[in-house]
Amino acid sequence: MAVIGAYKATKYTLFVCCYIFWVASGVLFAVGIYAKIAKEKDVVDTLTTDPALLLLTVGSLMFIITFLGCFGALRDAAILLKMFLGVLLVILLLQIAAAVLGFIFSDMVLERTDLLMKKAIVLYREDMDLENVIDFVQKKFLCCGVDHYSDWSQNAYFNCTENNPSLEACGVPFSCCVRQRNETVFNSMCGYNTQRMEEVSVRERIYTNGCLKKIVLWGKHNLLLVGGMSISLLCLEICMVALAAVQLGQIQRDQQKKMKSGIPRQR
Distance CA 264, CA 224 (A): 54
Predicted confidence at residue 42, as pLDDT, reads 53
End-to-end CA distance of the chain, in Å? Answer: 26
Predicted confidence at residue 223, as pLDDT, reads 86
Predicted confidence at residue 14, as pLDDT, reads 93
Predicted confidence at residue 49, as pLDDT, reads 66
Predicted confidence at residue 264, as pLDDT, reads 53
Distance CA 185, CA 128 (A): 24
pLDDT tens digits along 114-172: 999 999 999 998 888 889 999 999 999 999 999 999 999 999 999 988 889 998 999 99
Predicted confidence at residue 108, as pLDDT, reads 92
Crossing angle of helices 211-221/128-141, nearest 10°?
Answer: 60
Q: Which residue in 216, 197, 213, 214 sits closest to 205, CA to CA?
A: 197
In this structure, are residues 142 and 214 in contact, taking their beta carbons and an 8 Å threshold? yes
Predicted confidence at residue 51, as pLDDT, reads 81
Low-confidence ranges of the chain (pLDDT < 70): 1-3, 39-49, 183, 262-267
Predicted confidence at residue 209, as pLDDT, reads 93
In sequence order, the β-bridge partners of residue 166 are: none
Predicted confidence at residue 254, as pLDDT, reads 85
Distance CA 22, CA 243 (A): 17
Distance CA 20, CA 57 (A): 18
Share of residues in the chain with pLDDT > 70 (%): 92
Predicted confidence at residue 47, as pLDDT, reads 59
Predicted confidence at residue 169, as pLDDT, reads 92
